Amino acid sequence: MISTSIKQLLIVMLVVFLLAVLPFSVAEAAEGVQVTVPELSSSDYPVIAGVNSRVAVWLAAQLHLWFAAFVLAVPIFVFIIESIGVWTRDQRYDEMAFEFIKVSITAYSLTAILGGLLAFSLFIFYPQLMTYLTGVFSESMFYYALLFFAESVTLYVYYYGWHWLQGGDKKWIHLTLGLLLNAVGTLLMLLANAWLTFMMSPNGVDTAGTFTGDTWGAIHNFLWNPINLHRVVANVAFGGSVVGAYAAFKFLSASGEDERAHYDWMGYNANFIAITALLPLPFAGYYLTAEIYEYSQQMGITLMGGVFAWLFIIQAVLIGTLFIAANYYLWCGMGRSEGAHRYYPYIKYIAFVIVASFLVWFTPHTLVLTNEELKALGGPYHKYLGPLGIMPAKNTAVNLMILFTAVSFLIYRRSNKLPTVSWVQTGNALQIALFVAGIANILILGIYYGYFTNTVYKVAASIPQVLTTLVVIVISTVIDSFLYKGAEEVAPLRWGRVPDRSQYALFLLAVAFTWLMGLMGYIRSGIRQHWHVTDVFRDNSVDAFTPTLGYAANVVSIGVVIFMAMVVFVFWISQVSSKKSYPEGYWKTA
């Protein structure tokens, strides 16, 4: 028999589902709408209380996006962790999943507040642009607002019903709610992505920007799917890093051994999530950039070779930092095991390859030279370092970094295990052969096809490089899992026995991810240059120029500081919520 409360819940879910599917009727509803592009002058942009409208919108949008990315990502891996708990019947997973979603609840209201701030800022400072965009996307914007009800209801039932919906069918209902929450959240993101990608690569409008009535066309513009893919993967990596920072925060402030062990385990899992999502991220980024180039060579060159190129060097440095920090965390984590000493000697070789690849990864194509160096080189071109500045070198380097991060994972997994199968040597030889062949293939593809063939092969070679990396990781993981099936433990893993500095690596990951998102987000938006909507709606405000790199980096950095302060608040408040005080003599006794 289904209880009344479950029936009520099912009705709520049905309503939520109906709300979620409503946006699909948008394309039909918008037929016949005429929206034209206005010609603006600087006086059409309101100046209010001396506020710099660009910076106000920039910071509001960036802060909203950071929180939105976090609250959209957390339910994705909470759902996965909860499913693992159901599959393994290990309650620790269920508890961890609950703790993760708990952190995102406070962040959820901050997301909504910042979303409101962003919307108001846009309507106040850029009314004509918003009139145009709401004209094009009117229905989808309305449904976006409605979807928030669906998102909120599902999230609240999912979170507050966590301990109620436990066991048997109830757990399945809870899992379904998690799935629904993710579906609604993803839909929300896809809609918002459509607006910003429309501004980059407008569709559904004629050459003068007049809306043709094709809302679906406007949504499904050229860069929509590349951004969708990139954002989903990046959100998970970012969300994982933020909850990793939460675990580190709790670990460092833990009072007992049990608490330290719990948050160490939580931090390890969060890092695992962040890194698993980080591994395919360079490929998603490469796909997005290739699509930007294909949409507009001008945009592509402005992005990576022109005015924004130097920010890409900072991006490269931050991504390398992520890889070093993630590997360092794994190496420190090997200290939890008594058997790790067998693998310590390999760390230096892994570090060597990762650092060497990293140096190649961030070597710029255009070098910053002093006059003396310029004279000594006879010009700005460096015979040996110049070739490291182009994509084949970068692709080769990043594939090697990813492969060796996977090696760190493998040795971490092995550090506490003793294989019992008879084919240990064959298995190890197979894995070594696999890695050697993979590395050779990546090098050949990068060097031969990257430098000695034409650009069609050069660009195309990046795909087999990626596939090689993925195949090596998947097959070696499969071999490893068979090799260590039924393996003995050297000793029980000592969760909590990690140095505090490893926790700072988790903080570093979160800060680097945040900064990276801010910088790359600015570039993505900045490549429109003096256009509100590329090639159709000109920005004629006083801010219709590309700010200097230093100025942009400062604005982004201030945003990072504000975001981090708010995140610390979220961590603190979630800690406070579980504390109870019993003031003596305050309450009347019965």
Partner 1 sequence: MQKIPKLLQVVLIVVGVYFGFVLLFDFILGQVIPSSLLNMYMFFIVAGVLAVYTATEDGTRELVAPIKSLVEDPSKKKTRNIVFAVTPVAVALFVYLQLVPSLEAPLELRSIHPAPPSTVKIYGKRFDLRTLVNPYRKLEEEDPEEFRAMVEAGASIYIQNCHFCHGDKLDGQGPYAAGLNPVPLNFQDVGTIAQLQESFLFWRIATGGPGLPDEAAPWISSMPVWQEFLTEEEIWQVILYLYDYTGRRPRSWEE
Binding residues for partner 1, rule: CB under 8 A, are 294, 296-302, 304-307, 309-310, 317, 320, 324, 327-328, 331-332, 334-335, 344, 347-348, 351-352, 354-355, 358-359, 362-374, 376-387, 389-390, 451, 453-456, 499, 501, 529, 535, 546, 549
Pick 148 or 287: Cβ nearer partner 1: 287
Pick 181 or 324: Cβ nearer partner 1: 324
Pick 87 or 384: Cβ nearer partner 1: 384
Pick 139 or 539: Cβ nearer partner 1: 539
Pick 94 or 291: Cβ nearer partner 1: 291
In the complex, the smallest distance separating the C-beta of residue 129 from partner 1, rounded to whole angstroms, is 21
Interacting residues of 388 by C-beta distance below 8 A, sequence separation 6+: 360, 363
Residue whose entry in the numeric block shows the structure tokens 């991810």: 513
Taking each continuous run of H as one helix and of E as one strand, the counts in the chain are 21, 4
In the complex, the smallest distance separating the C-beta of residue 138 from partner 1, rounded to whole angstroms, is 29
Pick 193 or 241: Cβ nearer partner 1: 241
Residue whose entry in the numeric block shows the structure tokens 């795909």: 463
The crossing angle, in degrees rounded to 10, of helices 168-200 and 127-160 is 170
In the complex, the smallest distance separating the C-beta of residue 450 from partner 1, rounded to whole angstroms, is 8
Residue 4 to residue 322: CA distance in whole angstroms:
50
Neighbours of 166 (CB within 10 A): 12
- Strand, coil or helix: 392: helix
For residue 234, give both structure tokens.
């990046």
In the complex, the smallest distance separating the C-beta of residue 508 from partner 1, rounded to whole angstroms, is 10
Of the candidates 328, 389, 322, the residue with the CA atom closest to the CA atom of residue 359: 389
Pick 109 or 548: Cβ nearer partner 1: 548
In the complex, the smallest distance separating the C-beta of residue 83 from partner 1, rounded to whole angstroms, is 33
Residue whose entry in the numeric block shows the structure tokens 């504390």: 579
In the complex, the smallest distance separating the C-beta of residue 305 from partner 1, rounded to whole angstroms, is 3
State the DSSP string of 84-145: HHHHHT-HHHHHHHHHHHHHHHHHHHHHHHHHHHHHHHHHHH-HHHHHHHHHHHHHHHHHHH
Pick 228 or 296: Cβ nearer partner 1: 296
Determine the residue type at 477.
Answer: T
The secondary structure element, H or E, covering residue 152 is helix 127-160
In the complex, the smallest distance separating the C-beta of residue 441 from partner 1, rounded to whole angstroms, is 21
In the complex, the smallest distance separating the C-beta of residue 317 from partner 1, rounded to whole angstroms, is 7
- Strand, coil or helix: 40: coil
Q: Is 447 exposed, middle or buried (CB count within 10 Å of its CB: 0-12, 13-18, 19+)?
A: middle
